[in-house]
């Protein structure tokens, strides 16, 4: 795959670039988050690996810029970060991403994450072709394709929810605000699963 790594740590970029190249991927990187959109548009990648803790703008801000730009909005994004995904972040950004990996990364972990996303992309494209072959319109087929991607990320968000709930069990009294955020995340996941089932009921 053609990958673009966006991370303000040049040494890490070079390390990840070498690891991914050994895995058969074509990789370039951008260390200035302010230039991220230009780097993406210059040569649109098949997948973006995006760090969160960057200055002067964060990876979340870059993600929002990507998703609000119609010409690059559909490019899959995997988040690479050293911080745990909070319930608030999962609720706000979860449906904007295709994957989330904690640093530091082992070679096998990074390659597996990229390979897993490639499988989801390939499966979604196969779903699109099946939908077109079955007589669905291009718009309906696109909804079927997007449904595969949404199903994958909702599974990840549900796993995130379960992990956060387990961490909070031991001391509920001091984490009321976090628990409220988890409730909101749970409600969002439930709603999106219901929407997804309705969306894909006509997909082949």
Tens-digit pLDDT profile for the chain (204 aa)? Answer: 999 999 999 999 999 999 999 999 999 999 999 999 999 999 999 999 999 989 889 999 999 999 999 999 999 999 988 887 888 888 899 999 988 888 777 778 888 889 998 999 999 999 999 999 999 999 999 999 999 988 999 998 888 888 777 766 665 555 666 777 888 889 999 999 999 998 888 899
Largest CA distance in the chain: 55
Global pTM reads 0.87
The per-residue pLDDT for 176 is: 64
Cβ partners under 8 Å of residue 40, min gap 6 = 4, 48, 66, 72, 75
Contact 48, 77 (CB under 8 A): yes
Look at the alpha carbons of 13, 15, 18, 23 in this order and tell me if their dihedral is positive or negative. negative
pLDDT score of 103: 78
Residue 94 to residue 138: CA distance in whole angstroms: 26
What pLDDT is stored for residue 171 in this prediction?
58
The whole-number pLDDT of residue 170 equals: 60
CA distances from 22 to 38, 67, 107, 115, 179 (A): 26, 30, 10, 13, 42
């Amino acid at each position: 795959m053609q990958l673009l790594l966006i991370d303000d740590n040049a040494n890490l970029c070079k390390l990840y670039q070498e690891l991914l190249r050994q895995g058969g991927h074509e990789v370039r990187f951008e260390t200035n988050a302010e230039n991220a959109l230009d780097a993406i548009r210059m040569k649109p990648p098949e997948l973006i690996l995006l760090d969160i803790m960057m200055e002067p703008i964060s990876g979340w801000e870059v993600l929002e810029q990507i998703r609000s730009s119609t010409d690059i909005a559909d490019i899959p994004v995997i988040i690479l970060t050293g911080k745990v995904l909070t319930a608030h972040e999962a609720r706000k950004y979860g449906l904007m991403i295709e994957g989330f990996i904690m640093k530091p990364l082992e070679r096998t972990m990074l390659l597996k994450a990229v390979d897993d996303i490639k499988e989801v992309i390939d499966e979604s494209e196969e779903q699109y072709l099946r939908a077109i072959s079955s007589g669905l319109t291009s718009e309906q087929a696109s909804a079927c394709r997007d449904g595969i991607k949404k199903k994958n990320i909702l599974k990840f968000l549900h796993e995130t929810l379960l992990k956060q709930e387990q961490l909070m069990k031991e001391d509920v009294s001091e984490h009321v605000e976090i628990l409220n955020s988890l409730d909101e995340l749970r409600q969002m996941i439930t709603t999106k699963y219901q929407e997804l089932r309705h969306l894909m009921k006509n997909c082949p």
